[in-house]
Amino acid sequence: DGGITQSPKYLFRKEGQNVTLSCEQNLNHDAMYWYRQDPGQGLRLIYYSQIVNDFQKGDIAEGYSVSREKKESFPLTVTSAQKNPTAFYLCASSMRGGQPQHFGDGTRLSIL
Amino acid sequence: GQQVMQIPQYQHVQEGEDFTTYCNSSTTLSNIQWYKQRPGGHPVFLIQLVKSGEVKKQKRLTFQFGEAKKNSSLHITATQTTDVGTYFCAGRGASGGSYIPTFGRGTSLIVHP
């Protein structure tokens, strides 16, 4: 079955700790995205990538970092610089940038 | 930057009533996408509209793209409990800037049986 896999489903972070959220897709899509979802805020774009080894900042990139070393993988690191990281994080991919997106099941991140 | 406003934020309806959500952009859009997110789930792509004045139907759902390509609507006829969820529009700017769509904040539909 083709799709997007995000892991873990739930993640807890201690103060001052970096954590990495995994996103893998087997849809052979070129573009991948990371969104943050807070209640009543919709989907806010953190980072996106059109091709391997290239990525661009979205609207709320501060405190986050990404890499795109393989086409299938687009991990997101939430750094200690992100002061309010508690949220639902969604990864998505599309055949090319701007085209309809397929989303993973998301990761819920909480602060201990 | 481009802004996409979506109203209302919440809508309560009795099962069988109709429902409409509206999406408005500050700039002309090249296309607009609609997604549905069930409670506890992830957004699922429903449809993309590209042409000025375009109307598309999916069973009880009717999607419209305005003549000026600055607004769009989703109308559900005779809602059912399975329609519960949050509906998002995502608009892509027509001129310059990013080709990545900007999401509205969504309209949460609550259907009372």
Residue-wise pLDDT tens digits, A21-66? 999 999 999 999 999 999 878 899 999 999 999 999 999 999 999 9
Residue A58 forms contact with B (CB below 8 Å): yes
The first and second tokens of residue A50, run together, are: 């059109």
Mutate to test the interface with B, among A9, A34, A43 (most CBs of B within 10 A): A43
Distance CA A73, CA A11 (A): 19
Q: Which of A70, A57, A59 is nearest to A22 (CA)?
A: A70
pLDDT of residue A83: 86
* Among A40, A43, A92, beta carbon nearest to B88: A43
Per-residue burial over A45-63, b = 16 or more CB atoms within 10 Å of its CB, e = otherwise: bbbbbbeeeebeebeebee
Q: What is the pLDDT of residues B11-28, one digit of tens each?
A: 999 999 999 999 999 899
Kindly state whether A41 is in contact with chain B, defined as any CB-CB distance less than 8 angstroms.
yes
DSSP E strand stretches across B1-113: 4-7, 10-14, 19-25, 29-37, 44-49, 55-58, 61-65, 71-76, 85-93, 102-103, 107-112
Chain A contact set for B46 (CB, 8 A): none
The mean pLDDT value of chain B amounts to 94
Residue of A10, A49, A103 to mutate when probing chain B, most B C-beta within 10 A:
A103
pLDDT-based confidence at A2, cuts 50/70/90?
low
Nearest residue to A45 via CA among A103, A96, A5: A103
**Residue numbers of chain B with a pLDDT score lower than 50:** none
Return the pLDDT at B96.
Answer: 65
Express each pLDDT in A74-111 by its tens digit.
999 999 888 899 999 999 999 998 899 999 999 999 98
A–B interface: beta-carbon pairs under 8 A:
46
Which of B1, B88, B92 is the closest to A42 by Cβ?
B88
